[in-house]
Amino acid sequence: MMVQEGQPQGRERPVRWSHVKIWSVAVISITFLSTCFIVSCVEKVWGCCPSTWKSFGSSCYFISDEEHFWSKSEQNCVRMGAHLVVLNTKAEQDFLVQQLNESLSYFLGLSDPQGNDSWQWIDQTPYTENVRLWHQGEPNFSAEECASIVFWSPRGWGWNDVFCDSKRNSICEMKKVYLS
Distance separating alpha carbons of residues 179 and 41, to the nearest angstrom: 11
Q: Is 6 left (phi over 0), alpha (psi -120 to 50) or beta?
A: left
Residue 18 has pLDDT above 80, yes or no: no
Residue 101: its pLDDT value, please? Answer: 98
**pLDDT (tens digit, 9 = 90+) per residue, 57-115?**
999 999 999 999 999 999 999 999 999 999 999 999 999 999 999 999 999 999 999 99
Query: What mean pLDDT, rounded, does the chain reach?
Result: 85
**pLDDT (tens digit, 9 = 90+) per residue, 149-179?**
999 999 999 999 999 999 999 999 999 988 7
- The answer to whether the predicted template modeling score (pTM) of the entire model surpasses 0.95 is no
Q: Is 44 left (phi over 0), alpha (psi -120 to 50) or beta?
A: left
Residue 19 has pLDDT above 80, yes or no: no
Q: Which CA distances in Å does 44 have to 51, 58, 60, 178?
A: 21, 14, 19, 8
Distance separating alpha carbons of residues 8 and 77, to the nearest angstrom: 74
